[in-house]
A and B are shown apart, each in its own frame.
Chain A
Amino acid sequence: MRRGRFAPSGSAAERGNMAAAAPAARWASAAAAAALLLGCCGAVLAGGIQDQAEQFFKSGHTNNWAVLVCTSRFWFNYRHVANTLSVYRSVKRLGIPDSHIVLMLADDMACNPRNPKPATVFSHKNMELNVYGDDVEVDYRSYEVTVENFLRVLTGRIPPSTPRSKRLLSDDRSNILIYMTGHGGNGFLKFQDSEEITNVELADAFEQMWQKRRYNELLFIIDTCQGASMYERFYSPNIIALASSQVGEDSLSHQPDLGIGVHLMDRYTFYMLEFLEEVHPASQTNMNDLFQVCPKSLCVSTPGHRTDLFQRDPQNVLITDFFGSVRKVEITTETISLDRNLAGFESELPKDVLATEPLKYADQLPVAQIIHQKPKPKDWHPPGGFILGLWALIIMVFFKTYGIKHMKHIF
């Protein structure tokens, strides 16, 4: 039975496992007696078993990736870019390097001519926090943010000449965070005001990722209107999904800035950013805290989440499992001495081949040479197709009219 339960975050999250059938009373009493017997002699082993159980429920991922997508174009959608950049900032701060982040921004707000403070994107009123910063690498910009490119990034079906920074090179031990924001509706998300991605396509893409073993666990966060409809159709295992609003509700924006003239952030991401600013790489905050991030009183919409496809208990899942990065550190006590004598290394390089006569720079505007330039001889191609057919027709007509005996004039 795989249908899960989607709980608004007011009530406790329940796993959608099958409800156990109530055992008969006599089995219950027998089980209780056996438990008492085992309990007294198992007290010593309890501590060890507890550790092993926790170990079993730890994530087991070795690397972290993040795919952050902003799908809206135009200046009045400034807040969507600010949303994505604030998640980018948090993820970088908690340790995921740029090489493991695929950032897709559908429009440029920072250097937009309408921006009164160029090269900045603010998330708070009064311009307190510049989420754009000085060290940002956007992988997909402007017209490159399309449904096709997004699905190609997720499934890995990318043309061979794509550079590394634009690929999601995850493996089966990767935890991936996918954050999407923009304008959405019941069952779809709009890309750049010209195309949409539906929840079925997204669910199928995640299933392709699962079948190709492209993720260990996936955290999907979406901040759009009616966001909960986007995770309704997921059917692959190991996915946690969060959305900023339920079906039929709109996600609202936080506050406008009168200096910039637009709304700066959406409410859900604003409170999520405030929550993430408290998290540091070693913190033990877990997913249940993230589920409580924006109650209805602050967010006006009802955020939702879905954990039925996830195997672990969200209580045991650390925020840094998805937002932070695993770093393998090996401590060694042996001394490594640097080689001070670098001159010897350089002399091993091969000697260069010297030209026999001096080389010279090209003339930048050789007027005489240009005027007398002959047109380049084009490569001769044998006539094909239409021309060949036309000539064949003409020759056939000629010989039909005048008879075949004229052939002897040619041969």
Chain B
Amino acid sequence: MLAVGLVLLLAAGLGQGTTRGVLREELLLRPLPVGDVAAVFQFRTRWDADLQRGAVSHYRLFPKALGQLVAAHGVRELHLALTQGFWSTQSWGQPPLGAPAGAELWVWFQDTVPDVDKAWKELSNILSGIFCASLNFIDSTNTVTPTASFKPLGVANGTDHRLLRYAVLPREVVCTENLTPWKKLLPCGSKAGLAVLLKAERLFHSSYHSQAVHIRPICRDASCLAVSWELRQTLTVVFDSFTSGQGKKDWSLFKMFSRTLTDACPLASESKVYVDISPKNKEKDLLEVTPTPTSVHEAIVQGDKTTYAVYDLLSPMLFNTSRSLNVQLKWKRPEDSSELSTPIMHAHRYVSGYGLQTGEISTLIYNTHPYRAFPVILLETVPWYLRLYVHTLTIITKGKENKPSYIHYQPAQDRKRPHLLEMLIQLPANSATKITIQFERALLKWTEYPPDPNHGFYVSSSVLSALVPSAIAMKNVNVEESPLFTSLFPSSDGSSYFLRLYTEPLLVNLPTPDFSMPYNVICLTCTVVAVCYGSFYNLLTRTFHVEEPSRGGLAKRLANVIRRLRGVPPI
């Protein structure tokens, strides 16, 4: 026991120089305008090894399951997100990391891969085994190849979109069986560090739960001559105990997670908790955080200046007074909810129409910036059984038609490929853009219906990628020193930041047959045939012949004798 502990200490103490992996963990707590709290966990492992060239057999911080996957299938980037719920941008603000409802998987392959579709199929099967999700349902009917969105997030020396695959399974449920393998990929598991807070009973009692895995190659240092592999595991959860009336607006770690933090993961080089205490609407001292944070950090996140109270779990003074850290937030004055700032871009999508034959999908995109316009790429994937009519596509802004600068439309092939619609649209300042397209519902073959067809069929969320102008110019900061939640999307210049939003998924009813009809038809047809055929058979083959009346038995003859004696006619 002592020997093992000594070895661990030695290994951790050897430092980053010789161990080629670095683990950073971080928790961001952001109080939302409506009174709920969003918690974003990020665990990032950076590994200075070359997975692609093989010859890696010693896995320390990087999980072996994912390392072997990347090496064997020629993966350059992998992004998998499992989400339950919907991030409502209008009331909660911009999401730190967006994800569509259900399961989303997008992968960039290396250009040395001979058959991308085969590698994609194998990859989704293996991931379904690792994460206990039904990712094996990903096939050509829900996979698309976007041509302008989803550029690689890691270092890349070319973007040939033929190596990109994107698929969404909107019906996928996220529950503890997906969280369990996700937690097992962490170097410390759920035993030490920030991951002790991840208890399923509290995490799924929320209005939004999203867990993701991102693997990408990054620059090893500022000169960017060598490539390291980065694995980010993120978990975003929004607790709604205040808006659902179950709790007060003041929150604490114990109230949210039913646990408190006791120590940092011994394998982590950095372990911090950030609490967003930015003053809203220019009012200072609205929030009070206890215990005292170890430092205060100011950063420009998503174009706006935000202040964070930082708790560094590795600093010795944090656990001086008590063994556990329970961050508590109190609202000093009741905030008037009338002044809710709207985010610069938000979107809304809905399906309209009546009946089971036709319908219309409408997407509304709002640009609330007072004077800046910016471009947005809209990517829509519609399943083949909703036949889109592209001639009915209209884009209207401020009453006038808005022609997109780039359109890519790939029509669907029945049972083979979904519709793909990608458009680059300029959103003028302070406007609402409405994009509508009509569709017709197809009738599926009766074996293609799922066991619960009356629930409806899902259309996956559409993706909006935009370069949103920032209120304050952002400087290029060193990725290694800035908090993790600022560094997933590489920023090119300071005047705008990249944002990816997802709209609502749609639920559409298809004309559903009555599945008891085959049984009814068989019964009815067999009865009719039996009755008809039986009657004809009888008519054709029945012959009549005269039958001799029988003499009667003994009893009858005796009775006839008695009757003759009485004078009554015989029977």
Contact = CB atoms under 8 A, between A and B. Distances in A.
Interface of A: 73-74, 108, 110-111, 117-120, 132-139, 141-144, 161-166, 192-194, 338, 340, 342-343, 345-347, 349-350, 352-355, 358-367, 370-371, 373, 376
Interface of B: 3-4, 6-7, 10-11, 14, 18-20, 48-50, 53, 55, 58, 84, 121-122, 125-126, 128-130, 132-134, 136-137, 147-148, 151-157, 159, 161-162, 171, 173-177, 180-181, 199-201, 203-205, 219, 223-227, 375, 377, 405-406, 424, 450-452, 465-467, 489-490, 492, 498, 515
Contact of B176 (A136, A360, A362): A136
B424 A362 contact: no
Contact of B121 (A110, A134, A161, A166): A161
A143 B50 contact: no
A134 B174 CA distance: 14
Given A358-B224, A364-B465, A373-B148, A138 B177 contact: yes
**10 tightest Cβ-Cβ pairs between the two chains A and B:** A163-B129, A361-B490, A111-B175, A119-B204, A192-B451, A118-B204, A194-B451, A161-B125, A358-B224, A138-B177
B151 A364 contact: yes
Contacts of A138: 132, 177
A73 B451 contact: yes
A346 B134 contact: no
A371 B467 CA distance: 15
B173 A111 contact: yes
A335 B569 CA distance: 120
B182 to A, nearest CB: 11
A349 B177 contact: no
A365 B49 CA distance: 29
A342 B14 contact: yes
Given A137-B180, A162-B125, A362 B151 contact: yes
A165 B224 CA distance: 39
A136 B173 CA distance: 15
Given A110-B175, A144-B134, A192-B451, A346 B18 contact: yes
B200 A367 contact: no
B176 A373 contact: no
A137 B176 CA distance: 8
B61 to A, nearest CB: 13
6 contacts: A111-B175, A144-B136, A347-B18, A359-B156, A360-B155, A361-B490
A161 B117 CA distance: 13
Nearest to A345: B58
A362 B201 contact: no
With most chain B CB atoms within 10 A of its CB, the pick from A347, A353, A366, A367 is: A367
Contact of A359 (B11, B176, B203, B227): B227
Nearest to A368: B405
A58 B454 CA distance: 53
B377 to A, nearest CB: 7
Contact of A340 (B7, B126, B201, B498): B7
A137 B227 CA distance: 35
Contacts of B48: 352
A365 B491 CA distance: 11
A31 to B, nearest CB: 61
B452 A73 contact: yes
Contacts of B225: 354-355, 358-359
Contacts of A352: 48-50, 226-227
B203 A143 contact: no
Contacts of A119: 175-176, 200-201, 203-205
B129 to A, nearest CB: 2
A338 B7 contact: yes
Contact of B377 (A133, A136, A360, A365): A365
Contacts of A376: 147, 161-162
A143 B49 CA distance: 40
Contacts of A350: 50, 53, 55
B19 A346 contact: yes
A74 B452 contact: yes
A354 B226 contact: yes
Given A352-B48, A359-B155, 12 more contacts: A133-B176, A139-B132, A143-B450, A346-B19, A346-B20, A349-B55, A350-B50, A354-B225, A355-B226, A358-B225, A359-B156, A370-B406
Contacts of A365: 151, 375, 377, 465-467, 498
Contacts of B136: 144, 162
Contact of A362 (B3, B159, B452): B159
A165 B129 contact: yes
Nearest to A132: B176
B129 A166 contact: yes
A25 to B, nearest CB: 57
A193 B161 CA distance: 42
A394 to B, nearest CB: 27
Contacts of B405: 367, 370-371
A134 B126 CA distance: 23
B162 to A, nearest CB: 7
Nearest to B127: A163
A141 B151 contact: no
A338 B177 contact: no
A371 B424 contact: yes
B329 to A, nearest CB: 24
Contacts of A362: 151-153, 155-156, 159, 490
A159 B201 CA distance: 35
Given A111-B174, A373-B406, A137 B11 contact: no
A407 B162 CA distance: 44
A359 B224 contact: yes
Contacts of A366: 151
A361 B154 CA distance: 6
Contacts of A165: 129, 132
A50 B437 CA distance: 83
A106 to B, nearest CB: 8
B176 A163 contact: no
Contact of A143 (B126, B181, B451): B451
Contacts of A370: 148, 377, 405-406, 424
